[in-house]
Chains A and B, each alone.
Chain A
Amino acid sequence: MSFDNAYESLLGGEDAHWAFGTGFSEALSGVDREFPAGVDREALAAYCLMLGDDALIFSQRLSEWCSRAPELEEDIALANIALDLLGQARMLLTRAGEVLGRDEDSLAYLRDEREFRNVHLAEIDCGPGPGGDFATTIARLLVFSSWRLALFSRLRGSADPVLKAIAEKGLKELAYHRDHAAQWTVRLGDGTDESHRRMQAGLERVWPFVDELFATHAVEAALAGVAVDPASLWSEVDGVLEAVLSAAGLTRPTDTKAARVAGMAGRDGVHTEVMGYLLAEMQHLHRSLPGAVW
């Protein structure tokens, strides 16, 4: 081995061997960052926050599994999915920040709860906390990744070159996430009586949050050609879920619609009570040391 001196490589100034830089800037290098003519920039920023917050908050939830998964292989897989989504969140928040004059960290750490635009499905506790278990986590991942994959496959046609590039890159990741969730849904649905019962309960837990995913928001309506209308995704996603549940021998829950709050939900910045705690934990250190550099 050439590194008998474990420190020799640390003193050099070369940066080529860092596993992570800002990462995504390379992934999107060469992509035109001009805003398309005639686009409503504020709506574009709001849309990027919607999709970015979905990924950021779900990633935060998935990373709670780290060191708690049922097998080492699964610990690695869930961390991988959380990392992919965190990468998507960073690209999307950065794009929003280009309109808003803020960076990814300012948007992630210095917005208050009412400014977050993620769907409720991303934020609810599906385990390993008291709100769920591995089956509930898989149920959420199945619904979320099936929906987001359908969304990203259409987003490849966006008039915004950055959204288009983010969608291209995210598509492969999301296809893996959906496949992973589908395989586990089938394994748990088919495995033992206990796993079947838990998988069915997991589906019942997340199903009320499905409707929100397909409700068209005013921001999406204002961005024809740039954003995807989520209502258009239903039949595709419905077909995928039907196929997976049927292979798993599971029953589709009937309750698909949690009540709104005065007509509002996650896309309007109106969240569930767990969101405040999630953000308190995520943001506290960043906010405790104003002016610090990380």
Chain B
Amino acid sequence: MADDLELRFERTVQSEARIEPRDWMPDGYRKTLIRQIAQHAHSEIIGMQPEGNWISRAPSLRRKAILLAKVQDEAGHGLYLYSATETLGADREDLTTKLIEGRQKYSSIFNYPTLTFADVGVIGWLVDGAAICNQVPLCRTSYGPYARAMIRICKEESFHQRQGYELLMTMMRGTQQQRDMVQDSVNRWWWPALMMFGPPDAESTNTEQSMAWRIKRDTNDELRQKFVNMSMPQAEALGVTFPDPELKWNEERGEYDFGAPDWDEFWQVVKGGGVCNEQRIAHRRKAHEDGAWVREAAAAHAAKNAVREEGAA
């Protein structure tokens, strides 16, 4: 019986059809998905902080509106992704606890600080750009609710990316001080953006099984190469350079060659040693704990209302 179910699951996945919440699925598949989607949801929520850092100081009202709307979208993405985990039996409160206790991860990129307003543009262009490269294949991932959430998220992310790039274009047309600010920001974010695709394939522990289950569609190194290939013409159009002396077109391969990120820094940040790791979690923990009495009050009010309605009926 179990073998039949497993066979049916395997066939569904192999035929590129979707697994839906009520379908049988192996425990490992369910756990891997919850881990991956929760990590993605946490990344959206923690990701509100580095950009949120500039809302109060945005240098024009139009940029303030764009940034506030963008950070609001990230909260929305977190919300749909937590909902997707709930279709697998997870619980948002429990996942939030795991995040603030450091038992689940979020994208390490958000442990880097946002130091100038140009960072808002560069995050849109490179960080959201790298996220889109990672996420577009997930629109075809085997788990239906995740795939559908990703379609919506990718559409909104591509708006964000355009807005980020447009900010940089505008700044590059401005004063020399602004152009220097953009280049400095690109210098700080380029390598961390490349790290967003994860460790080299040879060291990536989760890739093989996730590819077989069609949870993941491309390897880390394939996506990283794709991102570099896409980013170069963008940088040229913008008038900035990437801080990599090995970056050059390889006629033979028809792709760009590029250097390796500093993987020691990557692991240091992943393991909690980044500039902002503690701050990001402390911020999230404070919001969650400060809001506990509000959530309790809402639940108590709803319970009282239910009793009152029963009494009235």
Contacts and interface: CB of A to CB of B under 8 A. Distances in A.
Contacts of B64: 63, 86
Interface in A42-85: 56, 60, 63-64, 66-76, 79-80, 82-83
Given A67-B71, A289-B59, A195 B175 contact: no
B282 interface: no
B170 A293 contact: yes
Interface in B154-211: 154, 158-159, 161-163, 165-167, 170-171, 173-175, 177-178
Given A7-B234, A76-B79, A87 B65 contact: yes
Interface in B38-82: 45, 48-49, 52, 55-66, 68-69, 71-72, 75-76, 78-79, 82
Contact of A285 (B117, B159, B287): B117
A82 B158 CA distance: 24
Interface stretch (A18-26, A171-179, A203-211, A250-258): A18-26
A163 to B, nearest CB: 19
A56 B61 CA distance: 9
B72 A80 contact: yes
Nearest to A76: B75
B290 A70 contact: yes
- The range of chain A's interface size is 35 or more
A169 interface: no
Nearest to A6: B132
Interface residues of B, number: 71
> What secondary structure prevails in chain A residues at the interface with B?
helix
Nearest to B139: A1
B49 A134 contact: no
Contacts of A292: 59, 171, 174-175, 177-178
A1 B82 CA distance: 23
Interface of A: 1, 3-7, 9-11, 17-20, 22-23, 56, 60, 63-64, 66-76, 79-80, 82-83, 86-87, 89-90, 93, 104-105, 108-109, 128, 133-134, 186-188, 190-192, 194-195, 198, 281-282, 284-286, 289, 291-294
Interface of B: 45, 48-49, 52, 55-66, 68-69, 71-72, 75-76, 78-79, 82, 117, 129, 132-133, 136, 139-140, 151, 154, 158-159, 161-163, 165-167, 170-171, 173-175, 177-178, 230-231, 233-234, 237, 283-284, 286-287, 290-301, 304
